[in-house]
Structure 1
């Protein structure tokens, strides 16, 4: 069982500064040296006898925090249940992990995601799979915390008539008492909204024109009633690869999706998007792999943005793609795309992107075998130094990031042993961000370099296993 099969969040790769002169056709942010934030000693959330994966990091307006994840049944990731741990003192102490619901062990409950609303109430969603004939039953499940208990789960979608079941679900608190849930099902995106804090839900509505193979959905909100979705979508043909698409829900309807990975060299090679919304813009980051036929090929994290005052359904209103990671690799036994996760802290103000990977050495080759977690912030138009959050003598990945009141919070997986048989611990760490942040720097002009040759095919896992 690889991270591809058991991870929900993005498995992310970033590079050491100054080791790659340019992503083909994509602008380079200015990088100097790795800048280490003052990270605390990492805290292990799970015990030494518990394995888990796919953590999500939640921070409430009142400062409470919660980590949700899938905990394995025994030592196998074949079956898992949603678990949580919470902190009320800024992450210094955490409660013992506990199941969100008492659930049968023969169900695989994955893709656990959560959010706090304006009243600091936690809301959680996940997808479960029950074996069946001819197809398994897949359900999108919602619950929220009420005092010291979780509410009776609400089934937002249930299908057992298709070989393409629900794969991912995302939830955001879009306004007071307003929750938006989006999930992919039968290779289309569906949306349901609650306007009473999750007590009742509107009917499922399909996002328009998402009829191709869709995967890796991510969702963000401006907090004023709008939701912003990004996802990867399979391009046409055997060698089509995947591209990044975007759509906005304005509170009444979804805009027609547009493809935003339109730079010539990234078409068909872009995957695993993330999205964050600041006071002035929506920012998307995603992975770019130089050669889609090789899992060992160099990879990069790129970002682009659109002003909220613009019509983001027009590609002309998006900035050019910008490489924020430099050259990166992943462990050879893990055929990943690198994948970012993002968060916005208005008190800085900055967007933070964190990811894991192996940087290049001086010869352009992987610097060892262990992935570490790295990050970047949008100050100076992503021109600040890269931050290394975990050491190279550990193998860590699959980070989820949150940021609030000038603090960056990370949860991630610590892998002890090899990918298939090792132990997976859920970890937490935090660091203050004390720098002054200069924002809205001019967007650099992308460099123009030859387009690389690509071969036939695309190395990708089955969609259901790709987080």
Structure 2
């Protein structure tokens, strides 16, 4: 066909995608190991002095942004090694340019802080939850720091308590919504399941800004499987949505999704669960782990890890849904992380995606090794919806000469904020510290426009 013979013709603008460069693969490496492509249009990152650089060590940071722009990082400070930790925090009042010294939220002798989470409400009050372990007794603790006295913490309150011969509690997540409303999800052992208690997802709500709590009970009670790593979102009407990891037969694991049938203000709260796991949209995903949930522009987004080959092959997958999201038919699924990555050891064992929304897009960041690079340490990688995830390459934030694990992200206007755990060699063991970075970001959505030439 001779197009120039037509009076009018349409010339499509072709955008040339970056060419992936491949280096030879060592004989010991699996074929999926390829050189990562670094995004040319990711955030422009700035580095700052460490937030927690004590010789004792620190780990598992979480970060939150207040409506007024204040930032808070909470983390575990090692008082006497990894079995004697306290919840600490640091605050920035100038968009991350400087931070207060690390200060304890609570201290208790011979009590170990395990995991924690933080959020801000609409009035710039900070809310923190954490799990404590002492004498075979697990407690879910809560405290608040008001905007009038930032960094001054109120009375520690106990949301849940598990004491038995075989107790367990983990993975708290907190969300502030509406007027004085707070929601928390976590997992704890089901004490009614005999000698082999399993973990179920639990929920609690406060409607008086944390002064009192109603433990609404088990969200979904399963007799044999084990639930892990719940995350939540609460809409403007008070409906709670939860995504979590559920054990399945033969060592498999699924990502489940559930919504409350009404605002769960009482112990009689009821829930509707999705009719099939999110990972069932791809039958090859049999070990789905570490879900992270958010809602943006009318859609739910659940990022999770697809773990294969005994953990040697790990990618980040995104599921999203706009309407009637307890029906699996309304969800779509795609791998968003590009090349697969791995991890070096059991701290943690799997890639842990973190999700945030802001600046007209959704961000997902995670840690992982890339054996195509010289040093096979975990680095922090990221993608965003604005750039069609990893289609144009993913953002490599940290260098490869040290380990960077457990990233946490949040956003303010035009900025992405990252806290992570930096691991460096030491004697007699590795040194763990909390680092912070920020990245300026301007979402430029890619638009494919036809060009019409007239003759």
Whether the TM-score (by the shorter chain) exceeds 0.5 is yes
Which of 284, 289, 297 is residue 271 of structure 1 equivalent to? 289
2:214 counterpart residue number: 202
* 1-structure distance, mates of 2:370, 2:364: 16
Runs of 4+ in 1 over 4 A off after TM superposition: 16-20, 332-335
| TM-superposed deviation, 1:43 | 2.7
2:143 counterpart residue number: 143
Residues 175-254 of structure 1 mapped to structure 2, 5 A cutoff: 175-186=178-189, 187-211=199-223, 212-236=225-249, 239-249=250-260, 250-252=262-264, 253-254=270-271
Q: Does the Cα contact within 8 Å between 2:410 and 2:417 map onto a contact in 1?
A: yes
2:386 counterpart residue number: 379
Structure with larger RCO (C-alpha < 8 A, sep 6+): 1
Q: Does the Cα contact within 8 Å between 2:160 and 2:215 map onto a contact in 1?
A: no
Residues 424-439 of structure 1 mapped to structure 2, 5 A cutoff: 424-437=432-445
| TM-superposed deviation, 1:266 | 3.8
Residue 81 in 1 paired to residue 86 in 2? yes
* 2-structure distance, mates of 1:98, 1:161: 32
Residues 8-157 of structure 1 mapped to structure 2, 5 A cutoff: 18=20, 33-35=38-40, 36-74=42-80, 76-104=81-109, 106-131=110-135, 136-146=136-146, 147=149, 148-157=151-160
Q: Deviations over 1:201-234 (max 9, x none)?
A: 2233211344420111222334552332111111
| TM-superposed deviation, 1:407 | 0.6
Range with bigger deviation, 336-345 or 385-394: 385-394
Q: Deviations over 1:364-415 (max 9, x none)?
A: xx75321110100011542453111111122211100111212100000010
Residue 284 in 1 paired to residue 302 in 2? yes
SS at match of 2:279: coil
| TM-superposed deviation, 1:194 | 0.8
Q: Does the Cα contact within 8 Å between 1:19 and 1:360 map onto a contact in 2?
A: no
Q: Sort the Cα spacing of 1:282 and 1:68 in 2 relative to 1 into closer, same or farther, 3 A.
A: same
Q: Does the Cα contact within 8 Å between 2:423 and 2:431 map onto a contact in 1?
A: yes
Q: Sort the Cα spacing of 1:172 and 1:162 in 2 relative to 1 into closer, same or farther, 3 A.
A: farther
SS at match of 1:261: helix
* 1-structure distance, mates of 2:279, 2:417: 29
* 2-structure distance, mates of 1:279, 1:52: 36
Range with bigger deviation, 417-426 or 189-198: 417-426
Higher Cα radius of gyration: 2
Q: Which runs of 5+ in 1 are unaligned?
A: 1-15, 21-30, 440-467
* 2-structure distance, mates of 1:427, 1:407: 17
* 1-structure distance, mates of 2:247, 2:291: 13
* 1-structure distance, mates of 2:43, 2:160: 42
Q: In the comparison of the two structures, how many residue pairs are matched?
A: 395
1:458 counterpart residue number: none
Q: Sort the Cα spacing of 1:95 and 1:68 in 2 relative to 1 into closer, same or farther, 3 A.
A: same
SS at match of 2:77: strand
SS at match of 2:332: coil
Query: TM-score w.r.t. structure 1 length?
Result: 0.79
Q: Does the Cα contact within 8 Å between 1:17 and 1:34 map onto a contact in 2?
A: no
* 1-structure distance, mates of 2:129, 2:319: 28
Which of 363, 374, 393 is residue 352 of structure 1 equivalent to? 363
| TM-superposed deviation, 1:263 | 3.4
SS at match of 2:169: coil
SS at match of 1:262: helix
| TM-superposed deviation, 1:85 | 0.4
2:320 counterpart residue number: 305
2:412 counterpart residue number: 404
Residues 167-178 of structure 1 mapped to structure 2, 5 A cutoff: 167-178=170-181
* 2-structure distance, mates of 1:311, 1:247: 11
